[in-house]
């Protein structure tokens, strides 16, 4: 039996066990995926070996610590400096970031996207910015406070706070802030400014897995909208490919995960 888990705090409502176990069951693999609530991210390494895991996912708030505790970090995780997928190779832990590719896959159906406005400057904004830059999108980041914008300036991205931002035309606006996650808030308190921002875009995406006030406003202004469910599924697809050593076709994993996710919703 191979064992996998999701490390995070909280983990109780996560759909990761559902989507990963649906693939393991469908393909008759003797693999099991569980949840492990962990307070201190620095315990992930010891816990990983104690549970005799073959792989794991890491979620909020431990992704940056997961980056530190791996023996080797591969691919875009090095740029993002955050790891959400860990694979054991012998006694070594190898770290990957599948959130970035998951986001890119989730917007693949959108047409003619070049200019992208990202609201928020946290870990998810960093992952999305890194993959979009690699794919030659034109990125602007706005955050409510200045502090976290420096690391985006270091990537040569245009950055603003809401005070110095001037609205211009974009193709896609992405909410990566936690506004709307557990409250009814918009990512900016100035309703008129956000309305103006959205009126100047064709698409709006929220990384939260439900229809947030941000998405409701965008939809009312006739933008095409998407919540974070597909990003979650697609990051899971790539993580599952690492767990199953790329032996199952990506399309098959995607099909099984979509079915499991939406049958439960």
Q: List contacts with ligand NDP (CB under 6 A).
A: 60, 99, 120-125, 143-145, 147-148, 176-179, 181, 185, 187, 207-209, 228, 231-232, 235
Which residue number, 69 or 82, has a Cβ lying nearer to ligand NDP?
82
- Listed in order, strand segments (DSSP E) in the chain are 2-8, 31-37, 55-58, 72-73, 85-89, 92-96, 115-119, 138-143, 158-161, 172-175, 203-206, 224-226
CB of 196 to ligand NDP, least distance (A): 17
Closest CA to 235 of 94, 73, 65, 57: 57
**Closest CB 212 distance from ligand NDP, rounded Å:** 9
Q: Which lies closer to ligand NDP via its Cβ, residue 19 or residue 121? A: 121
| Min CB(91)–ligand NDP separation in Å | 29
Rounded least distance, CB 80 to ligand NDP, Å: 11
**Contacts (Cβ under 8 Å, ≥6 apart) of 210:** 227
The catalytic position among 2, 15, 47, 63 is 63
Q: CA dihedral in degrees (206, 70, 251, 255; nearest 10)? A: -60
Assess whether 63 carries a catalytic annotation.
Answer: yes
Exposed e or buried b per residue across 50-74, where buried means at least 16 C-beta atoms within 10 angstroms of its C-beta: eeebbbbbbbeebbebbbebbeebe
Which residue in the shown chain puts its C-beta closest to ligand NDP? Answer: 122
Nearer to ligand NDP, 235 or 254 (CB): 235
Q: Are 172 and 146 in contact (CB under 8 A)?
A: no
- Between 177 and 244, name the residue whose CB sits nearer to ligand NDP: 177
At 104, list the tokens.
Answer: 């890119």
Catalytic residue numbers read 63
């Amino acid at each position: 039996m191979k064992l996998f888990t999701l490390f995070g705090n909280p983990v109780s409502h996560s759909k990761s066990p559902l989507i990963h176990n649906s693939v393991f069951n469908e393909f008759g693999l003797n693999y099991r995926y569980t949840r492990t609530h962990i307070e201190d991210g620095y315990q992930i390494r010891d816990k990983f070996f104690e549970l005799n895991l073959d792989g794991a996912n890491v979620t909020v708030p431990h992704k940056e610590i997961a980056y530190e505790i791996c023996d080797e970090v591969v691919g875009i995780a090095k740029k993002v400096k955050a790891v959400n997928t860990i694979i054991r190779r012998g006694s070594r832990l190898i770290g990957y970031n599948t959130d970035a590719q998951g986001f890119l896959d989730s917007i693949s159906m959108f047409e003619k996207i070049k200019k992208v406005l990202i609201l928020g400057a946290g870990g998810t904004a960093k992952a999305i910015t890194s993959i979009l830059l690699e794919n030659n999108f034109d990125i602007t980041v706005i955050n409510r406070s200045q502090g976290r914008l420096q690391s985006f300036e270091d990537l040569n991205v245009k950055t603003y706070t809401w005070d110095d931002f001037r609205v211009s035309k974009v193709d896609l606006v992405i909410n990566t802030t936690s506004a709307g996650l557990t409250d009814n808030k918009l990512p900016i308190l100035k309703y008129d400014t956000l309305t103006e921002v959205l009126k100047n875009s064709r698409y709006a995406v929220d990384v939260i897995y439900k229809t947030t006030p941000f998405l409701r406003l965008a939809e009312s202004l006739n933008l095409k909208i998407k919540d974070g469910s597909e990003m979650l599924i697609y990051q899971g697809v790539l993580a599952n490919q690492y767990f199953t050593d790329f032996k199952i076709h990506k399309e098959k994993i995607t099909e099984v995960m979509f079915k499991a996710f939406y049958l439960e919703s």
